[in-house]
Structure formats: C-alpha cells, structure tokens
Amino acid sequence: MQNNGKRKVKMTVTIRKISPGEAELLDIFWVNGKLTLSQVHEIHSNGTGKPTLQTVQTRLGRMVAKGFLSRNGEYPAVYDALIAREETQGKFFDLIESLADRNFAPFMLRLAEKRSLTPEEIAALETILKRTKVQSAE
C-alpha cells in the first residue's frame, strides 16, 4: 500500500519485473520491517561491506521508483516494502502453474534435486500430499 495523503492506494507488481537481487532485498524488509539504508546494508552485506553502501542505495532507489518500496522524507530515510511476501508468492505460483502446464510433479522433483530440503519442508510436503490424496479419493 502506498499512502497518498489520506487515501491508501494498492500497488500492483508484475512478477517479471522483480529481479533476484530485488527479491533478496524485499526479503530483508519482510523479515525485519521498516529499515534505514544503513540497516539494510548491514543485513545485506553480513558485515562484509559487499555490496557497497552506494550499491544498496542505488538498488533501493530503483525499487522505490518501481513501486516495490516506499521511502519517507525523514533523515535518515526509512524504507518499507509496498508488496507483501504472499502477493509475490502468489504471482510466482501463477507463473509456475502456467509454465508447468498444471503438472507440478516435475517442478517439485527439480526443486528437491536443486537443493536439500529441510526436515520441516519434507514434513510440510508430506502433509500436503496426504491431504491431496484424501481430497482426490472423495
């Protein structure tokens, strides 16, 4: 939501416009809430200084221009996500659904092969599969 005076306007984002780097920065806001540039830089760089503060500032400025983040007029400026994680996940789901032609098994197998699943993720997938089997049998 973007605050325009007294009225709030919902921002719509096309998933194709969100780069992996922007998604990573959005995740920082989703986990931590409102942050200053310095705070984002510290979290993003893990104390290494890379990327530089100027690079993070440029990225945040571009994300504000795209409507992904808001920036207040205070000093230091405070940034906040304008889109919710769930909204982005829903758009990714729609994209995956169209690319997978509604056949999720190959996608899920590829995902599991690409990286190790945690025990919690495995348990969640097993629960979903059990629930789906019950619904299919009805």
Q: What is the pLDDT of residues 8-40, one digit of tens each?
A: 444 444 444 688 888 899 999 999 999 999 999
- Is the pLDDT at 3 greater than 70, yes or no? no
Q: Does domain 2-85 have CATH number 1.10.150.120?
A: no
Q: What is the pLDDT of residues 54-67, one digit of tens each?
A: 999 999 999 999 99
Q: Is the peptide bond before 106 cis (omega within 30 degrees of 0)?
A: no
Q: Where are the domains of the chain?
A: 2-85, 103-137
Per DSSP, the three-state class of 9 is strand
- Note if the pTM is more than 0.95: no
Q: What is the pLDDT of residues 64-107, one digit of tens each?
A: 999 999 999 899 999 999 988 888 777 777 777 777 777 777 87
37, 56 contact by CB (below 8 A): yes
Side chain identity at residue 51, one-letter code: P
Q: Token digits for 47?
A: 């104390």
